Chain A
């Protein structure tokens, strides 16, 4: 049986791993390869690297660090940030990434999803969705969320976008619930359940993990395939081996 994935997320900015709270005030937390190997040794199932500086600057990912990670790491990893063409995606995949995740560029030009799926297969194509609930109660997507000054609200409803992304060829959806990101009050289960209901490809929860219970709830209440977190893993507040052992004791299918 397929296991549920525990996915530490490393936000990368200018070649270093950083973490902000509610997407702001980033501080450097360490070197990319060192942290990647630490998480691998602790039992992470997969790693996601978000190059949060790439998209707003119109730059693409620096493949140098992707290659360094690819040489050392023997678990899968996904790279996100500023990939806006098939050529840029190819560079990242050939440098060793298993998947590429696109977010802002897919909102700018949804056809990019189709192009990437045709070139590399849907299994390589992850669509990241940054979502926030508006005053009218609707969840809508946000663009350029790596840079608060440039973050754009979109008229796209989050659930509509998830449906469209799958139709175009997304092989996985990472739903980042911005309202709960970095504050550790738990994943946004209501939003994740709504997304799950319309998502037939793997769905990864992001934003809000603070305790082992939050992971359990995401897997059992929202039926997500993976749970992504950053700060609780970087701080050591949640140790991955203990988390995985506990989830197994709660009868969640987890790789030891």
Chain B
């Protein structure tokens, strides 16, 4: 198995790498198309704004590389949002791999945005990614934009309204929460991803 972390400029790359090390996997960080294509599993991390994330992928000429991947791909947090069609954040077109928009989370009375902290996650569609301990539990979220419930939703969480905690389409998956910081549930989803 060869796992790569796409160096998309997100600050959580180090944390994800450590999380994979805790599972016994030494993932390489890379921005090279060749290394990404050759990997058995590709993780697209991301923290920060969607426009900056897309700009970075364009700069590295990785847009078409990522779209064409056939091995399991996991987008994490902003990385998940980049897999979608379009983000409200900066009104930017994303990779368009998963047919879902990214919308600003509605705030409101008692609803703070960014949505920051531990929230309940519940699987709503059977999927190998969400087997066993990864199906239901508590995960750590930090985000101000989210993918509404849609056809690609595999698990939901709720902050005022339900939103997609996990999405999937073919070999592409995305988790809105931070598996590297979500204790048991986070380790379980990463373990399942590596077993795909």
Interface residues in chain A, defined as those with a beta carbon under 8 Å from any beta carbon in chain B = 1-5, 40, 45-46, 67, 70-72, 74-76, 90, 93-96, 98-99, 119-124, 171-172, 200-202, 223, 225-226, 255-256
A74–B120 CB distance below 8 A: no
The complex places the Cα of A120 from the Cα of B113 at a distance, in Å, of 16
| Set of chain A residues within 8 Å of B12, measured between Cβ atoms | 98
Q: Are B48 and A120 in contact (CB under 8 A)?
A: yes
CB distance from A46 to the nearest CB of B (A): 8
- The verdict on B127 contacting chain A, using a C-beta distance below 8 Å, is no
Q: Does A96 contact B178, Cβ atoms closer than 8 Å?
A: no
Determine whether the beta carbon of B117 is less than 8 Å from that of A74: no
Q: Is the CB of A226 within 8 A of B117?
A: yes
A93 to B114, CA, bound (A): 18
Q: How far is the CB of B78 from chain A (nearest CB, A)?
A: 8
A202 and B11 contacting across the interface, CB-CB below 8 Å: no
Report yes or no: B117 in contact with A2, Cβ–Cβ below 8 A: yes
Interface of B (DSSP majority class): mixed
| Cross-chain contact A70 with B114 (CB below 8 angstroms) | no
Chain A CB count within 10 A is highest, among B119, B159, B183, for B183
- Which residue on A lies nearest to B114, using beta carbons? A123
A146 vs chain B, min Cβ distance (A): 25
8 contacts between A and B (CB under 8 A): A46-B117, A74-B180, A75-B140, A98-B12, A121-B47, A123-B47, A123-B114, A202-B112
Measured between beta carbons, the chain A residues less than 8 angstroms from B14 are 67, 70, 94-96
Q: Which residues does chain B contribute within 8 Å of A124, judged by CB atoms?
A: 11, 47
CB A3 to nearest CB in B, in angstroms, measures: 5
Tell me the complex Cα distance, A120–B18, Å: 20
Query: Do A3 and B138 touch across chains, with their CB atoms under 8 A apart?
Result: yes
Asked if B117 and A123 sit within 8 Å, CB to CB, the answer is no
List A contacts of B119 (CB < 8 A). 1-3
Assuming the contacts A1-B158, A94-B14, asked whether A123 and B144 have C-beta atoms less than 8 A apart, the reply is yes
Assess whether B110 is in contact with A98, with CB atoms less than 8 Å apart. no
A1 to B115, CA, bound (A): 10
Interface string of B157-173 (1 = CB under 8 A from A): 01100000000000000
Report if A71-B18 is in contact (Cβ < 8 Å); known contacts: A120-B48, A123-B116. yes
Q: How far apart are the CA atoms of A237 and B55 in the complex, in Å? A: 51
CB A219 to nearest CB in B, in angstroms, measures: 12
Residues in A with CB closer than 8 Å to B142 are: 76, 98-99, 123
